[in-house]
A and B are shown apart, each in its own frame.
Chain A
């Protein structure tokens, strides 16, 4: 069975601090994808990144960076120099193929990030 665990339910930081959101996943598949989505107060989930299981190279995009480690089944997300606009719920998700061949996403329960001015 597929499972995604985001142990941090809520995190509060002061603006300009760095913050890391943890994500641990479980799967028996050898091919899978990992995602991060951002859900601002408006409710719409915004896609941030996708990584496949064969590419462990870390990625940086502006103030965002992702650390994928298969050895620990983790896909952590770091925001550098956080800003108030980063306040949102962040979801980690695991992409896999169901028995019906549909690509499915299993989501973690999310981490509420609050950045204080």
Chain B
């Protein structure tokens, strides 16, 4: 595997379910990001992790819970979601959150909340 991978690619869940999105980067980067992409809207940064520590949390509802066990893996735990949370969730990584602007993106997880 190369680059940034995300699983699953598609997910349908009810509002009472609990699920997790997984992201893995094979680039040796130290920083990882979660973005939300809704239709016709700009990408919204949700979380930034650097060396497994969260450095940014952009006012995301608590029903989204990130986890970064190591610099190669990033999870987004989902619970009690709302239909408006349906979107494409993109993971990205960069060399370091302080030194590099260039972010490399995964293919995303298309989430549908019913």
Residues of A with Cβ closer than 8 Å to B?
4, 9, 33, 35, 37, 42-47, 50, 91, 95, 98, 100-110
A47 touches B104 (CB 8 A): yes
A110 touches B108 (CB 8 A): no
Residues A44 and B101 in contact in the complex (CB < 8 Å), given A100-B55, A109-B41: no
Residues A102 and B55 in contact in the complex (CB < 8 Å), given A43-B88, A107-B43: yes
B45 (CB) vs chain A CBs: closest residue? A104
How many chain B residues sit at the interface, stated as a range, is: 20 to 34
Residues A103 and B41 in contact in the complex (CB < 8 Å), given A44-B108, A45-B105, A47-B103: no
Query: A37 CA to B35 CA in the complex, in Å?
Result: 14
A50 touches B102 (CB 8 A): yes
Query: A35 CA to B104 CA in the complex, in Å?
Result: 12
Pick the contact of B42: A4, A33, A45, A103 (CB < 8 A): A4
Closest CB of chain A to B48's CB: distance in Å?
5
B90 touches A107 (CB 8 A): no
A102 touches B98 (CB 8 A): yes
Closest CB of chain A to B84's CB: distance in Å?
17
B101 touches A95 (CB 8 A): yes
B94 touches A103 (CB 8 A): yes
B102 touches A47 (CB 8 A): yes
B45 touches A103 (CB 8 A): no
A102 touches B56 (CB 8 A): yes
B101 touches A108 (CB 8 A): no
Query: A98 CA to B103 CA in the complex, in Å?
Result: 16
User: 12 A-B contacts, Cβ less than 8 Å apart?
Assistant: A9-B40, A37-B105, A44-B105, A50-B101, A95-B101, A102-B31, A102-B98, A103-B94, A103-B97, A103-B98, A105-B103, A109-B40
Closest CB of chain A to B6's CB: distance in Å?
9
Name the B residues within 8 Å of A44 (CB-CB): 105-108
**B60 interface residue (CB < 8 Å to A):** no
Query: What 0/1 pattern do residues 12 to 54 of B give for CB contact below 8 A with A?
Result: 0000000000000000000100000000111101001010000
